[in-house]
A and B are shown apart, each in its own frame.
Chain A
């Protein structure tokens, strides 16, 4: 009972749930690494630094939405952390009364990156931001504080967070994996080399957030060389 008195309420419950998820993710990763299924000898590994992802995410801000009855939410700055198997995104901004901009509260919206995929045409890795929790940090306008905080906690539910997340375009990591490699033709003396093309099959195997990086593991298979034309170009002589 004494422990309960010292406990931290809903915030502690949320943290405990997050820590349980992290432990489970880490255990699964350790098992996968030991079984050569993650970061294995089959995977091409891209390690994207969290600062680069933060800068990319920052470029998509600010985003703004108005939710019933008159709450305006504007998110302006991004923080990103890739640790212990979790990609965490924190977007900071402000919520205010649409009719009374002087009444506002600073807030942080928490979420993560999800829906990773390799874009078929461009070869980029893309991800979407998902937002799942709001934390009000500080409120202004004296007596209106409690009323505004209550309204935020009541009304900034999943639909508003989804609407904000939808306004953030897919985050394109500017690392491209080409699916073809062109080899120029050449000609020298009695030798002519036809131009050739190599093809690669690329599939996303896993994404792991760890040690300040987003590790993107790709399955890559090279197909045999394929000559493009029987006649070589004018090339080198």
Chain B
């Protein structure tokens, strides 16, 4: 009995020594190494399948930007590109001449001819970007961007010339009045289509906006004061003349002329301001008092639906002291 107890104690002691002090045997170690290998392979498989992790042996530095993050960054950049675009139009002239026919006492007749000219001294507007829609593919990000023209204000001279005919001419006579009015650019939304072309420049990813020229139609909207002026002009005439001018519906004619607006071309090259992705390899480095030059060469750019990858090959060189 005593011998058995001593044997058991010795066995337990030996086991504890082997397990906790002496360490595992070669087979146990080999099992652990295999387990690490299997787990590493499983992790690499998961990363390929889920995170679309890529590698490029030539690149010392790889930068991967997930599509969602790239989309948010590109959206902020595109909005930044378009925010604060101001448009100032000067010395614009719009002219409209037409005959006015109206039903009077004896049938439909020409009651007069008008010439409306608007001289816009200056009108300004601000372009406000909406939320861009982005499409990822190849070496570029496609961009569709609504841009609203807003906050335009300016001064214009309105000249209205009325040459009355027949009875209207007899009762109205000719009218030739000029008035300074304020005007604004009516809000309107335009859609711009273009892309951000991606390339690696040195050690940074650069997105260059590429947009074609876009024609913007900017309707001019006269202020309330303009309509008061037209109304006064009509009110100051005699009853028959007023009837003729009301038949002519002068305000509607002014409105239709100005609503056609001014055509302005937004040049695409105005937007060609390269955007550098804010991740870049440094060009120099000081470590332990040693100045190093860093040569960074782009290795590749890969745009997948899930992630944008680019690689940079880096070489460290000792900075030569100046002679």
Contact A225 B80, beta carbon cutoff 8 Å:
yes
Q: Is the pair B61, A47 in contact by a Cβ cutoff of 8 Å?
A: yes
Does B257 make an interface contact (CB < 8 A)? no
B39 touches A225 (CB 8 A): no
- B288: nearest chain-A partner, CB-CB: A60
Whether the pair B86, A16 counts as a contact (CB closer than 8 A) is no
Per DSSP, are chain A's interface residues mostly helix, strand or loop, or mixed?
mixed
B79 on the A face (CB < 8 A):
yes
Within the complex, what minimum Cβ distance (angstroms) separates A172 from chain B? 7
Residues of B within 8 A of A1 (CB): 11, 14-15, 18
User: In the complex, what's the smallest C-beta–C-beta distance from A14 to chain B, in angstroms?
Assistant: 8
Is the CB–CB distance between B84 and A196 below 8 Å? Answer: yes
Q: How far is the CA of A227 from the CA of B83 in the complex (A)?
A: 7
A157 located at the interface, meaning its Cβ lies under 8 Å from any Cβ of chain B in the complex: no
Contact of A9 among B22, B50, B68, B316 (CB under 8 A): B22
| A56 sits at the interface (CB 8 A) | yes
Q: In the assembly, what is the distance between CA of A127 and CA of B228, in Å?
A: 73
Contact A175 B88 (CB under 8 A): no
CB distance from B71 to the nearest CB of A (A): 10
A203 within 8 A of B: no
8 Å CB interface, B251-296 against A: 264-267, 269-271, 273, 275-276, 278-282, 285, 287-288, 290, 292, 294
The answer to whether B26 and A23 touch across the interface, beta carbons within 8 angstroms, is no
Tell whether, in the assembled complex, residue A192 and residue B85 are in contact, meaning their CB atoms are under 8 Å apart.
yes
| Contact partners of A19 in chain B: CB under 8 A | 29, 32-33, 35-36
Q: Which residues of B sit under 8 angstroms from A94, Cβ to Cβ?
A: none
A120 close to chain B: CB less than 8 A:
no
Q: How far is the CA of A8 from the CA of B27 in the complex (A)?
A: 11
Shortest CB distance B286–A (Å): 9
Instruction: Report the minimal beta-carbon distance from A218 to chain B, rounded to whole angstroms.
Output: 9
Name the interface residues of A1-57: CB closer than 8 Å to any CB of B.
Answer: 1, 3-4, 6-13, 15-16, 19-20, 22-23, 26-27, 29-30, 33-34, 36, 38-49, 51-52, 55-56
Instruction: Please judge, given known A-B contacts A23-B35, A33-B43, A190-B264, whether A198 and B61 are in contact too, CB under 8 Å.
Output: no
Find out whether the CB atom of A194 lies under 8 angstroms from the CB atom of B267.
no
Contact flag A12-B23 (CB < 8 Å), given A23-B39, A211-B44, A232-B86 = yes
B194 within 8 A of A: no
Please report the C-alpha to C-alpha distance between residue A175 and residue B280 in the assembled complex, in whole angstroms: 6
Is the beta-carbon distance between A188 and B86 smaller than 8 angstroms?
no
A220 at the interface (CB under 8 A from B): yes
CA distance A13 to B83 in the complex (A): 63
Q: Using a CB-CB cutoff of 8 Å, which residues 67-119 of chain B contact chain A?
A: 67-69, 72-73, 75-77, 79-81, 83-90
Q: Does A116 contact B (CB under 8 A)?
A: no
List the A side residues contacting B18 at CB < 8 Å.
1, 3-4, 7
Q: Known interface pairs A59-B288, A176-B282, A193-B270. Does A33 touch B59 (Cβ–Cβ under 8 Å)?
A: no
Which listed residue (A15, A55, A176, A222) contacts B76, Cβ 8 A?
Answer: A222
Minimum distance in angstroms from A177 CB to a CB of chain B = 5
Residues of A within 8 A of B316 (CB): 52, 55-56, 59
A184 to chain B: closest residue by CB: B273
For window 12-38 of B, CB contacts with A under 8 Å fall at 14-15, 17-18, 21-29, 32-33, 35-36
In the complex with contacts A174-B285, A175-B281, A4-B22 CB distance below 8 A: yes
Does A210 touch B at the CB level, under 8 Å? yes
- B81 pairs with A183, CB closer than 8 A: yes
Q: Is A8 a contact partner of B282 (Cβ separation < 8 A)?
A: no
A192 to B266, CA, bound (A): 11
A27 touches B39 (CB 8 A): yes
Residue B176 lies at the interface, judged by CB distance under 8 Å to chain A: no
| B178 close to A (CB within 8 Å) | no
Q: Are B28 and A16 in contact (CB under 8 A)?
A: yes
Instruction: Select which of A43, A175, A210, A232 is within 8 A of B279 by beta carbon.
Output: A175
Having A175-B63, A183-B275, A232-B86, one finds 6 other A-B pairs with CB under 8 Å, namely: A30-B42, A33-B50, A41-B68, A193-B85, A193-B270, A222-B77
Query: What would be 12 A-B contacts, judged by CB atoms less than 8 Å apart?
Result: A26-B42, A33-B46, A33-B50, A39-B51, A56-B285, A175-B61, A183-B81, A183-B273, A196-B80, A196-B84, A225-B83, A227-B83
